[in-house]
Amino acid sequence: ALRSEVLGVISEHTAEDIEGKEGRDALAENIRLALNKRLEDLEGFGGVEGVFFTSFVLQ
């Protein structure tokens, strides 16, 4: 369920949206919000405080 949320958020962004640091930061925040919403629906709480990328490849 969580993987699906992440993939859904990523698919909403174009390569141009996430080229710069600001775009990647916005993507990370959108992923965090989506995960917390899903966790709240499933478990009654959202505990994701941050999303971090160890590597980032655009194709």
pTM over the 0.75 mark: yes
Residues of the chain with pLDDT under 70: none
Return the C-alpha torsion angle 32, 15, 7, 28, nearest 10: -10
Q: Contact 47/38 with Cβ under 8 angstroms? A: no
Q: What is the pLDDT of residue 58?
A: 84
